[in-house]
Amino acid sequence: MLPQHLYAVFLGFLVDPLASARAYVRATQLPSFLSNTVARTEQVQNVLQHQPAKDSTCKQYLTGPIETTLCDYETVESVNDELYDQLHSLVETPFFRYFRADLYRDCPFWQENAFCMNRECGITTVDESEIPAKWRAAELSKVEMPPEDERTRLPGCYYRDSDYCFLDDMTEGDYIDLALNPERFTGYVGPSAHRVWSSIYSENCFGLSEMNLLSGKSSDPAPVSMPGSMTEVLSEDEAESPKDCLEQRVYYKIISGLHASISTHVCRETMNQTTGEWGPDLQCFINRVASYPERLQYIYFDTVLLLRAVARLGPYLSAYDYCGTDAHEGEAETLERLKKVIGIAQAVGKFDETVLFRGENANILREEFKEHFRNVSRIMDCVGCDKCRLWGKVQTTGLATALKVIFELDEKALDPQANQNLLQRSEVVALVNTLHRFSESLAAVDDFRKMWAEADALEEARLLEGAAFAATGAPKSRHSPTAGTDFVPGNLLHGVLEWVRACRDETMGCFLGLLDGLQTVFSTVGSIFRMSGKDQVPSRSEL
């Protein structure tokens, strides 16, 4: 029958829920329970208890190396405060806040009808008359559009041989003020969102060309799974996984870093359904990122890659015209901040591109890598949330621009005197805003670490239990995380702690959670005395 101590615990909840929850944590020895789940609690604590370095320089002999770079995690941490401050001010300037994008192009891969109905999915556009004339499509197309024979066109977009993404046709799209449409949680979840990420990871895997190059055999495409279970694909030990070449690992690190960064932004800007205010959600961050430290590593990886591109573009960006009018208003401030970012990039952006795309088959691998990333940029047209689609386009364009600068352009091409129209305005805007997004992700991690440090033992236990429960994929009802699951200590504790929080916040979830808890108890008690299913009347679903 039901253990007597559980009856006592449940009755205690009715009298003093918070004290009973504390007693339950001590009685059930929560850490031992979590140690058997897929949520890696020790790694969660390692992520959140780490103290970022504040004074470090890149070394050839690395103490915390980032693969294919000549820099370490400590160095990136030591400069990120300054980097983020400069970038945060820079993206508020007129040149970098206006972005033109076509957000209503049809999904080219499947019929997509799942649009986000949440108001947070919507965006605010800017009338063209509010955009300085020099930045309007009609003017930019005179100098930025490459000749027809240098581009491959598709409906509404095109790419050049050197491009790693599809660029929007200048005759289509709207102007968006990025500062008025921040990236944050919109409620866009479910099958549609999952299909987008699943396609990015699973349907763009390296296929026959790479397998033939590496093994000399025909084979099925390499298996690719979602982040958190990609350890074989992302293994740094080539001896253990000979089919996964360095280029493939770099590709998936870039994609997974983007995914982790977006997840961090979403968790940093989530609406509290009780207060109606936007703010950080530590449980969200632990569930999505801190439980899988490799995801945080990929954010660092992408940050160094973007810094390398900015470093190479230093002379070009320094000579770029950032003025929308002949009065040159704000140009000095924009250039001053940009030069500080370039200085940091030149010191820290030590991505080592020379180790990639080497050998007699380098061009084949490069083209496959490029084709995959172009597909990712097109999958953004399948996102059913306008704001998510916007930031997906901005950041895939930013990463694609960085890849083009690093792998396609030599020093002669980067000369601002010889090639003034090397990049389109949208590419420059996307590159800087994407670097800002990744730098902001690292700043957000520090904020989450402070929240963790301020949490008491009970709160830490609740957060770790929540991560373990989320990792198991157990079904949840609309009121209680434990409804419909087995009446076991771990699930009970999670539901109780959620209920305690709801009662503390004086929400309807307090009452509904109590009802769900009672229903679970009565259902469990009833199952104890039920002899067999043969004597049961069939349920309506079974008829």
Residue among 121, 205, 284, 385 flagged as catalytic:
385
- Residue ranges of alpha helices (H) inside 313-424 are 314-318, 331-348, 362-379, 386-407
Residues 6 or more apart whose Cβ sits within 8 Å of residue 538: none
Q: Both tokens of residue 95?
A: 């040149």
Query: What is the rounded distance in angstroms from the CA atom of residue 420 to the CA atom of residue 316?
Result: 8
Residue among 205, 284, 388, 510 flagged as catalytic:
388
CA angle 379, 296, 454 (to 5 degrees): 125
Query: What is the rounded distance in angstroms from the CA atom of residue 258 to the CA atom of residue 179?
Result: 20
Residues 6 or more apart whose Cβ sits within 8 Å of residue 47: 289, 290, 293, 296, 445, 449
Residue with tokens 């030591």: 78
The reply to whether 385 belongs to the active site is yes
- Taking only Cα atoms into account, the Rg of the chain, rounded to an integer number of angstroms, comes to 26
Burial-class residue 109 by CB neighbours within 10 Å (0-12, 13-18, 19+).
middle
Neighbours of 27 (CB within 10 A): 12
Neighbours of 174 (CB within 10 A): 17
**In degrees to the nearest 10, what's the CA dihedral of 218, 220, 222, 227?**
170
Query: What is the rounded distance in angstroms from the CA atom of residue 165 to the CA atom of residue 170?
Result: 15
Run of H or E residues at 168: strand 167-168
Query: What is the rounded distance in angstroms from the CA atom of residue 461 to the CA atom of residue 467?
Result: 10
Backbone angles phi, psi at 95, to 5 degrees: -60, -45
The reply to whether 157 belongs to the active site is no
Residue with tokens 């491009």: 163
> Where in the sequence numbering do the catalytic residues fall?
385, 388
